[in-house]
Chains A and B, each alone.
Chain A
């Protein structure tokens, strides 16, 4: 079975901390994505990657960065966490033009 694993289900951090959200997929997919989901705003794309060491900005990249050193792992980094980054973060992967597979999500609270 396809598996996209996000390292934490719930995370609580303090304002100003550097936060790492990890995502690993076991399907050898080229494409990986990071979204955040907020009530009333839906899913918004933060960053995506179509290959190792490659990254592209999505709709809301400000305050975030990403790293993809290996094909199976795509990390989202909050350089200096702020309260407005409290959200559900969802990672996804896919081969080109095929179904998107999501992880279970990380609910991040920044206090």
Chain B
């Protein structure tokens, strides 16, 4: 079964710190991978989409990388701010079924 795992489930960091969120997946034959942000009680917002042929994508302070051979992706957040506090979810398109989601990492940035 194709699975997506995010560890840790929760992370707390002081404001200004650079941080990395991790995502691992069980099958290297992916079409693309997306990172989402979810604020409490709200829907998900797509942050970055990495196609299988790409190694990374950047948007502002966010940088997502993809290593298909090792089944891993990372989301790097530079100079974290309290407004970055949210749950971050990784989702993988394995091509056969709709996106498979990880359970997310709940990030708290402490002022």
By a beta-carbon cutoff of 8 Å, the part of chain A in contact with chain B is 4, 31, 33, 40-43, 45, 48, 58, 88, 90, 92, 97-105, 107
User: Could you say which of B32, B97, B101 contacts A42, with CB atoms under 8 Å apart?
Assistant: B101
Q: Which chain B residues have a beta carbon within 8 Å of chain A's beta carbons?
A: 31-32, 34, 36, 41-46, 49, 89, 91, 93, 97-99, 101-104
* Cβ contact of A97, chosen from B32, B43, B102, B103, cutoff 8 A: B32
Given A33-B98, A42-B101, A43-B101, A100 contacting B42 (CB threshold 8 A):
no
Chain B residues contacting A45 (CB-CB under 8 Å) are 97-98
A42 to B9, CA, bound (A): 11
Determine if A105 and B46 form an interchain contact, defined as CB atoms under 8 angstroms apart: no
- Whether A102 pairs with B103 at a CB distance below 8 angstroms is no
Given known A42-B103, A42-B104, A43-B89, contact A101–B46 (CB-CB < 8 A): yes
Which chain A residue has the least Cβ–Cβ distance from B101? Answer: A43
Number of residue pairs A-B, CB distance < 8 angstroms: 46
Chain A residues with Cβ below 8 Å from B102 are 42
Question: What is the CB-to-nearest-CB distance from A106 to chain B, in angstroms, rounded to a whole number?
Answer: 10
**CB-based contact B34/A100 at 8 Å:** yes
- Among all A-B residue pairs, the 10 with the closest Cβ atoms: A42-B103, A102-B43, A102-B44, A43-B101, A99-B46, A104-B43, A105-B43, A99-B49, A48-B98, A103-B43
Give Cα A98 to B98, complex, Å: 11
Please, which residues of chain A bring their CB within 8 A of the CB of B31? 97
Which of A48, A88, A90, A97 is within 8 Å of B93, CB to CB? A97
Main secondary structure of the interface of A (DSSP, over half): strand
Distance (Å) between the CB of B97 and the closest chain A CB?
8
Inter-subunit contact B103/A105 (CB<8 Å): no
A-B contact pairs, 27 of them (CB 8 A): A4-B43, A31-B98, A40-B103, A41-B103, A42-B101, A45-B98, A48-B98, A88-B41, A90-B44, A92-B44, A97-B31, A97-B32, A97-B93, A98-B49, A99-B34, A99-B49, A100-B44, A100-B46, A100-B91, A100-B99, A101-B46, A102-B36, A102-B43, A102-B45, A102-B46, A103-B43, A104-B43
